[in-house]
C-alpha cells in the first residue's frame, strides 16, 4: 500500500524533507493535498483529517504520514519511522538515535530560518514585522549559521566511518535533509552563503553529492519538486540577506 504524505500544496516547506527520502528510495507515495478532489484527495481531505473529532491523536499540523492505520506527525518523527523501511537509516540501532539527534538539530535550524521572516508572530504578515525580521535575519547570518554549520562540518569530520556522511558509513535521510537545508539557505541568503564551500567544504561536498544521486537528480528536475517561493520556509527577501561577517 502507498504511503500517504500530507502537506500543504504550493510550497516545499517541511514536507520536502520527507519527500526527499521517499524519492531517493523510489517509494510508492501519494501527495494527498495535491491530489484530485474527485478521488477524495486535495487540501480539503487533509483539513478534514486535521479537524477530525474521531481520529485518535490527530496531528497538530502538516506534514504527517499515513501508513496503514498509523498516523505519524512531525517531520523528524516521520523520518525516524520511515528511515529503516526505506533503507535510509543506519543499520546499528544506537546510531539511529544519533541520526535522530542530528535530524532534530536540523529541525531547530529550520525553525530559526522560519523565524528570520516571522520573528514576532507567525500569524502576522512579513510586511508587518520587517524591521524585527531584519535584526533577526542578520543575527542568524552572523551568529547562528556559523554556529550550526561549524557544528555539522565537525560532525562529518569526526565521523570515523566516513567523510561523506553525517552518520555511519552510507547515505541516510539525515544527509538528504542536510542537502535541503544547505540548498534552502543558498536560495534565501545568496550573499550570506556566497563563500559557503570555503568555510564548510565537507558540507558543500555532501550537498553536491546528494544533488547528483540519480533518483534525487531526477526528482529535482521533475514537476514534483516545486520551486522555492515566498510562501515556504526558505524565502528570499533581499533586505534580510547580507554578506557573512
Contacts with its own copies, residue ranges (CB under 8 A): 53-60, 64, 69-74, 76-77, 80-81, 94, 97-98, 100-102, 104-105, 108, 111, 115, 119-124, 132, 135-136, 139, 143-144, 148, 151, 154-155, 158-161, 166-167
Closer Cβ to its own copies, 98 or 176, answer by number: 98
Closer Cβ to its own copies, 54 or 127, answer by number: 54
Give the gyration radius of the chain's Cα atoms: 18
Closer Cβ to its own copies, 89 or 166, answer by number: 166
Strand runs labelled E in the chain: 3-6, 29-31, 64-67, 70-73
In the complex, the smallest distance separating the C-beta of residue 212 from its own copies, rounded to whole angstroms, is 25
In the complex, the smallest distance separating the C-beta of residue 116 from its own copies, rounded to whole angstroms, is 10
Closer Cβ to its own copies, 20 or 99, answer by number: 99
> How far apart are the C-alpha atoms of 189 and 240, rounded to whole Å?
8
In the complex, the smallest distance separating the C-beta of residue 129 from its own copies, rounded to whole angstroms, is 8
In the complex, the smallest distance separating the C-beta of residue 161 from its own copies, rounded to whole angstroms, is 8
Strand partners, 30: 4
DSSP string, 9-60: TT--TTHHHHHHHHHHTT--EEEGGGS-GGGT-SHHHHHHHHT-SSSSS--S
Closer Cβ to its own copies, 133 or 216, answer by number: 133
> How far apart are the C-alpha atoms of 124 and 108, rounded to whole Å?
21
In the complex, the smallest distance separating the C-beta of residue 122 from its own copies, rounded to whole angstroms, is 8
Quick one: 51 exposed, middle or buried, by C-beta within 10 A (0-12, 13-18, 19+)? exposed
Amino acid at each position: 500500500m502507498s504511503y500517504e504524505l500530507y502537506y500543504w500544496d504550493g510550497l516545499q516547506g517541511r514536507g520536502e524533507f520527507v519527500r526527499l527520502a521517499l524519492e531517493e528510495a523510489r517509494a510508492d507515495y501519494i501527495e494527498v493535498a495535491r491530489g484530485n478532489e474527485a478521488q477524495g484527495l486535495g487540501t480539503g481531505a487533509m483539513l478534514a483529517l486535521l479537524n477530525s473529532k474521531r481520529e485518535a491523536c490527530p496531528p497538530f499540523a502538516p506534514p504527517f504520514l499515513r501508513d496503514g492505520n498509523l498516523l505519524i506527525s512531525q517531520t523528524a518523527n516521520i523520518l525516524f519511522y520511515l528511515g529503516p523501511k526505506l533503507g535510509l537509516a543506519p543499520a546499528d540501532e544506537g546510531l539511529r538515535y544519533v541520526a535522530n539527534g542530528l535530524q532534530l538539530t536540523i529541525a531547530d535550524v529550520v525553525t530559526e530560518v522560519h523565524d528570520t521572516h516571522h520573528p514576532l508572530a507567525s500569524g502576522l504578515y512579513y510586511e508587518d514585522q520587517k524591521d524585527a525580521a531584519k535584526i533577526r535575519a542578520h543575527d542568524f547570518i552572523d551568529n547562528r549559521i556559523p554556529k550550526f554549520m561549524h557544528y555539522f562540518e565537525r560532525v562529518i569530520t569526526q565521523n570515523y566511518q566516513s567523510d561523506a556522511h553525517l552518520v555511519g558509513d552510507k547515505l541516510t535521510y539525515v544527509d538528504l535533509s542536510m542537502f535541503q537545508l544547505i540548498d534552502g539557505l543558498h536560495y534565501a541568503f545568496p550573499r550570506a552563503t556566497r563563500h559557503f564551500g570555503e568555510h564548510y567544504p565537507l558540507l558543500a561536498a555532501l550537498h553536491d553529492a546528494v544533488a547528483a544521486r540519480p533518483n534525487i537528480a531526477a526528482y529535482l528536475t521533475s514537476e514534483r519538486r516545486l520551486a522555492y517561493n515566498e510562501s515556504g520556509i526558505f524565502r528570499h527577501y533581499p533586505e534580510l540577506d547580507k554578506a557573512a561577517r
